[in-house]
Structure 1
Amino acid sequence: MTPANSPSDSPTDGDPARRDRSDIIAGNWVDRWLPAPVRPYARLARWDRPIGTWLLLLPCWWGVAMAGHGSGEPVWMLIWYGVLFGIGATAMRGAGCTWNDITDRDIDGKVARTATRPIPSGQVSVKQALAFIALQCLVGLAVLTQFTWEAIIVAIASLAVVAIYPFMKRYTYFPQAFLGIAFNWGVLVAGALLMGDIAPQILMLYAAGFCWTMSYDTIYAHQDKDDDILIGVKSTALKFGDRTRPIIGGFMAATLTLIAVAAWMHGVAGPLFWIGLAAAAGHFVWQLKTLEFDNPKNLIMHFKGNRHAGMLVTAALALGGITL
């Protein structure tokens, strides 16, 4: 078995139990295309698992799609803002994951799914990881320089939540709530960027994103519930238990309702909006009916499926102002 503190280009090699449950996907583009010294950093930033970047980016796109209506900005500029948010989401999600792995390095080493991550497996030191955070934050700062001062101030305000989030699982059964606060901040940034302030409809859209995160991250947390009990950390998966299905159903219903209210307030609740929102609702119904809370493969499939739901909402908000 590969020693836990020795570097390895294939961290899932060795112990079969760890390999089978590891969240590192062997043979992906990181393994195929990146030089060996870069791979551990790519895994720290989760470049091999882009779903988290999508879930951070999509609320940004919701904000651009909705607030872009009536902003006076040409379509090409809105698309450019979408690209900038994409770069920023990739950099800051990577920085956040790196910080999370630093703070959780002792816990991760005790959990089968995370024991092969770069820090607990010894591939990257804490000092190296901190330097990598700084590099990624510089990329995020470069993106912010393209935004207005109002948007920059709102964006910087999110850093406090990002900093404390990894510690919340030690003290509360609702770390998912703190993730929801942080992961949907892009809605507020987009509102400040395109409207000059954080209007009530932007707050409604932000609340919708929060409820969405509570649903999908509770699904994700069910993968680790047995390990969480053993090592003494908390999650909504443990708190909700057998009531998870109806509770996340309530969060999904709240997500759709708040999006509808936000679109109505902003004047983009046209026919195409309702078609897109209905499609997202259908996706949520499918999730609720087919979730298997003791099947890790089923859970990760449904967690990743939320990218499609988020895309449908983006399209609904972008096209909602078009009159047929």
Structure 2
Amino acid sequence: MEPSAKPRSSQAIERVHGLYQLARLHKFPLGSLIIYWPYGWGVAMAASKEHAPMHTILKSAAILLVVATLYHSAFCVWNDICDRDLDGKVERTRGRPLVTGLVPLTDAFALFAALLMLSFFTFLVQCTIGSYHDRFGVMLTSLPINLVYPLTKRWTWWPQLWLGIACGWGCAVGWASLAGDRFELQQLPALQALCVADVLFTIFADTIYAAQDKSDDEKAGIKSTARLFGSHIRGILALFAIAFVGSLVLAGLLNGNNLPYFMIGCAGVAAHIIWQFYVWQPDDDECSAAIFKSNHDMGYILFIGIILDSQL
């Protein structure tokens, strides 16, 4: 005797849960914070330049956390849409909703569009609150970069660089969201240095993330800097880490930051990275996953250092 079909209510609940997983909301704040920190750093650095009051900084930072979470979820959906033929070949991703069929492709497209529109609407509200509507275009410019990113792992060994450019743009979004029409040309070098720092940070962090999938990625034909760097991964990432901290120091000097930025932010980040290299085992997948997650803490360290500096 055949088992009875699941009730429609049960099927609907499963589909909603699948959409929830597709957007990675079940893992919040993992992933979302990595995307958020460039926004947060940009807001804090602009506030440090202008000596903005704490309530203004926290309001902008909180709204941008919502924006970054929605934006991250939208492009997680987009990534799974683009990678649905590859995810089934990788142990870590073969249980994702589009691979298992839990979520239909049409629903995934609808979710992507809804999350994307909601993220832009939320940022537009932020722009309206601050009366600098033209800064909405700064965020809009990041859209094509993010749309192309999931495809890069098929044709270049440097998808982490492309992701870094996409994430680094968040520094400009965060800075513009607070500075708005008050942004001056002399602030551009500091913003550029901060964007470069985040590109380097993203390559560093995402290469560690990709290290946990090296074997499966090789079988599936997925390219990454983790595979490209091979046995030299620790040494090469050490160079990226040094360049990252150096770019943070340069950004602070150009922005006129004070001692808390350098002693808490930059020195704290450097100490955290040293600890990461001390405990990281590149051939241990679980260790790579844990070290990647610890980059959230690095984000807090730098953000706190800039915030304390902005109040002097």
Residue in 2 aligned with 1:44? 22
Contact kept, 8 Å, 1:173 with 1:239, in 2: the verdict is yes
Match of 1:66 among 35, 39, 45: 45
Residue in 2 aligned with 1:105? 84
Superposed CA deviations along residues 11-56 of structure 1, whole A, max 9, x for unmatched, are xxxxxxxxxxxxxxxxxxxxxxxx5442111111111223210001
Q: Does 1:260 align with 2:244?
A: no
Q: Does 1:168 align with 2:146?
A: no
Match of 2:141 among 127, 146, 157: 157
Contact kept, 8 Å, 2:14 with 2:102, in 1: the verdict is no
Contact kept, 8 Å, 1:211 with 1:251, in 2: the verdict is yes
* Deviation, structure 1 residue 127: 0.6
After TM superposition, the score normalised by the length of structure 2 is 0.89
Which protein, 1 or 2, shows the higher relative CO under an 8 Å CA cutoff with sep ≥ 6?
Answer: 2
Superposed CA deviations along residues 119-164 of structure 1, whole A, max 9, x for unmatched, are 0100111110010011111211221212133321010000000100
Contact kept, 8 Å, 2:49 with 2:256, in 1: the verdict is no
In 2: Cα distance, 1:237 partner to 1:49 partner = 23
In 1: Cα distance, 2:102 partner to 2:206 partner = 27
In 2: Cα distance, 1:219 partner to 1:141 partner = 30
Match of 2:285 among 286, 293, 296: 296
Residue in 2 aligned with 1:13? none
Contact kept, 8 Å, 1:191 with 1:199, in 2: the verdict is no
After TM superposition, the score normalised by the length of structure 1 is 0.86
In 2: Cα distance, 1:180 partner to 1:70 partner = 24
In 2: Cα distance, 1:84 partner to 1:175 partner = 29
In 1: Cα distance, 2:260 partner to 2:87 partner = 47
Residue in 2 aligned with 1:21? none
Contact kept, 8 Å, 1:63 with 1:188, in 2: the verdict is yes
Q: Does 1:82 align with 2:61?
A: yes
Residue in 2 aligned with 1:320? 309
Query: Residue 109 of structure 1 aligns to a residue in which SS?
Result: helix
The one-letter amino acid paired with 1:49 is K
Match of 2:300 among 275, 295, 311: 311
Structure 1 residues 271 and 78, CA gap change in structure 2 (3 angstroms): closer
The one-letter amino acid paired with 2:197 is A
In 2: Cα distance, 1:85 partner to 1:133 partner = 19
In 1: Cα distance, 2:70 partner to 2:263 partner = 33
* Deviation, structure 1 residue 200: 1.2
Q: Does 1:126 align with 2:105?
A: yes
Contact kept, 8 Å, 2:54 with 2:311, in 1: the verdict is no
Match of 2:271 among 272, 282, 285: 282
Structure 1 residues 242 and 64, CA gap change in structure 2 (3 angstroms): same
Contact kept, 8 Å, 2:265 with 2:304, in 1: the verdict is yes
Query: Residue 297 of structure 1 aligns to a residue in which SS?
Result: helix
* Deviation, structure 1 residue 223: 1.1
Contact kept, 8 Å, 2:15 with 2:102, in 1: the verdict is no
Residue in 1 aligned with 2:9? none
* Deviation, structure 1 residue 227: 1.0
Residue in 1 aligned with 2:223? 234
* Deviation, structure 1 residue 72: 6.2
Q: Which runs of 5+ in 1 are unaligned?
A: 1-5, 7-34
Superposed CA deviations along residues 72-101 of structure 1, whole A, max 9, x for unmatched, are 643212211111111111111000000000
Contact kept, 8 Å, 1:273 with 1:319, in 2: the verdict is no
Query: Residue 57 of structure 1 aligns to a residue in which SS?
Result: helix
Contact kept, 8 Å, 1:201 with 1:265, in 2: the verdict is yes
Contact kept, 8 Å, 2:74 with 2:111, in 1: the verdict is yes
Structure 1 residues 225 and 253, CA gap change in structure 2 (3 angstroms): same
Q: What is the aligned length?
A: 291
The one-letter amino acid paired with 1:278 is A
Q: Point out the more displaced range, 301-310 or 67-76.
A: 67-76
The one-letter amino acid paired with 2:16 is V
Q: Please list every run of at least 4 consecutive aligned residues from structure 1 whose deviation after the TM superposition is greater than 6 angstroms.
A: none
Q: Quick check: which one's helix share is greater?
A: 2
Contact kept, 8 Å, 1:256 with 1:277, in 2: the verdict is yes
* Deviation, structure 1 residue 111: 1.4
Residue in 2 aligned with 1:200? 189
Q: Does 1:189 align with 2:198?
A: no
